[in-house]
Each structure stands twice: as C-alpha cells, then as structure tokens.
Amino acid sequence: MTVHTTVGQDPDSNDVVILLEMQHREIRRRMDAVLTATGKAREKAFRRFVHLLAVHETAEEEILHPYVRKAAEKGGPTVAARLDEEEAAKRTLRELEDEGCDSEDFPRKFRALRDDVLAHAEAEEAEEFPLLRSVADAARLQYMSKALRAAETVAPTRPHPGTGSAAGNLLLGPFAAIADRTREAVRMALGR
C-alpha cells in the first residue's frame, strides 16, 4: 500500500484535483506492473489496472468533465478532446480484454495504450485541472472529492483491510461492469 507522508497527499484529501492526480500516478504504476509481468501475474496485474482505469475515467466523466464544460469559458474544446481520448482508450482496452493477456500482440498493444493513457492524463493535468481550479471554489472541490471517494468505496482502487477474496474477485470484473457500478455510486453520492 502507498504511504502518504504529507497532508496534501492524504488519501482523505478534500481536494478532488489532488485525488485525481494520485490516481494518475497509481494508474501509471499499475501499467508498468502489467508490462513487467508474465503469465498469470500479468493477467492479475492487468485486471488491477483495468479496475482502476474504469473507476477513474468513469468518475471523471461523471464529476469533472460536465462541470468544466459548463463552468469554464474554454472548457468545451478541452473536455471534447479528453472525451475523445477516453473513448479511444476504451476501444483499445476492449480489444485487449477480448484477445487476452497471452496473445502475441498484447505487449505491443498495451505499450501503445500506456502511452495514450499517460498523454491523456498529462493533458488533463496541464489543461483541464487548472481550468477547474480557476472556476471551482474549495466547497466545489470538496463536493467533487466526496463523489470520487464514494466511487472508490463501492469499487476500491486499492486493497482494503478485511476485503475477502470472494469480494475481491467480484470487484475485478471487466471494464464495462466496473464503469457501470462506479457511475451508479457517483450518481448516488451526487444525489442524482
């Protein structure tokens, strides 16, 4: 488990941007783990990556993008570009899920996906997060962080003490299933 040593890195932070950036770093770690693993370990690492990516991108689609598009003057084009990138990543991911981790083409395709996912996260950090900060007050960031944490609670992104293996297996489903569960959790938290 990651050790957080500063207040700003506190997993219970009330700042949604800090939480999203922490998830970006964890997504990167999990992609690297997939690329260094083989066989059953690769499969396991891939499932862990898919899980976090589904939680993260779905939460952004529900919490972050709609707000930035509406509230920030230049939000529209930025959000449209980010949504296109997310859709492209999902298409590649679906192919990888269908073909399986032992397919011959997996390492090449996964490396390409990794590059795209990292470029997407960098664009969010460089363009969209600053836009969010320019229009959202602390209360808004806190409200959003609550919804993001709700998504993590229903679909944990890291092992929690006391999580049994049955529950663990249930949670490590395909991208689409995890995305559905996350959407539900976020909408409940936002009272939609």
Q: How many residues at the interface with Fe ion, by CB under 5 A?
A: 3
The residue nearest Fe ion at its CB is 60
Shortest spacing between CB 1 and Fe ion, in angstroms:
21
State the distance between the two ends of the chain, measured CA to CA, in whole angstroms.
Answer: 33
Q: Which is nearer to Fe ion, 60 or 62 (CB)?
A: 60
Pick the piece of the chain touching Fe ion (CB under 5 A) from 33-41, 60-68, 109-117, 178-186: 60-68
Q: What is the DSSP letter of 128?
A: I
Shortest spacing between CB 132 and Fe ion, in angstroms:
12
Q: Which is nearer to Fe ion, 101 or 113 (CB)?
A: 113
Pick the piece of the chain touching Fe ion (CB under 5 A) from 39-47, 103-111, 120-128, 145-153: 120-128
- Comparing C-alpha atoms, which of 18, 30, 124 is closest to residue 4? 18
Using CA of residue 188, residue 189, residue 191, residue 192, what is the dihedral sign? negative
Binding to Fe ion, residues 131-150 (CB under 5 A) = none
C-alpha to C-alpha distances, 184 to 64, 145, 149, 188, nearest whole angstrom: 16, 16, 13, 6
Residue 128 engages Fe ion in binding (rule: CB under 5 A): no
Pick the piece of the chain touching Fe ion (CB under 5 A) from 102-110, 121-129, 160-168, 178-186: 121-129
- Comparing C-alpha atoms, which of 75, 71, 81 is closest to residue 135? 71
Q: Which one among 46, 47, 54, 60 touches Fe ion, defined by CB under 5 A?
A: 60
Please check whether residue 35 is in contact with residue 107, taking contact to mean a CB–CB distance below 8 angstroms. Answer: yes
Shortest spacing between CB 13 and Fe ion, in angstroms:
16
- Comparing C-alpha atoms, which of 15, 24, 14 is closest to residue 133? 15
Contact residues: Fe ion, CB under 5 A: 57, 60, 124
